Structure 1
Amino acid sequence: MSDRGMRMDRNELVLVSPSKDMEHEILQYKEEHFAFGDRQVHGSGGLAFDDSFDEWLNRIRFIREKSPENIALTSTFFSRRVSDGKLIGCVKIHHTLTEELESGGHIAYGIRPSERGKGYGTQQLELCLEYAGQLKLKRVIIACDKDNTASAKTAMSCGGKLVKEFEEDGILKQHYLIEL
Structure 2
Amino acid sequence: ALKEGGHFTAYDLSNTDELLVPITYNEVVGRQTDTLHQMGRRPYPPYEEYDTVIVTSFEPSKVMRLRVKEDWYFYKQRSQMMVRIIALCPVMIKERDGQEVTEPMFWISYAQARDVFAKALVFNEFNSAMRLTYDELFWKRLFDSYIYKEQNVYDRRINAYAQGLDALLESERIKQEMFRFEEDLWQY
Per the shorter chain, which TM-score range? under 0.3
Which structure has greater helix proportion?
1
User: Which of structures 1 and 2 has the larger relative contact order (alpha carbons within 8 angstroms, sep 6+)?
Assistant: 1
Which structure has greater strand proportion?
2
- TM-score by structure 1 length? 0.26
Q: Computing the radius of gyration over CA atoms, which structure comes out larger, 1 or 2? A: 2
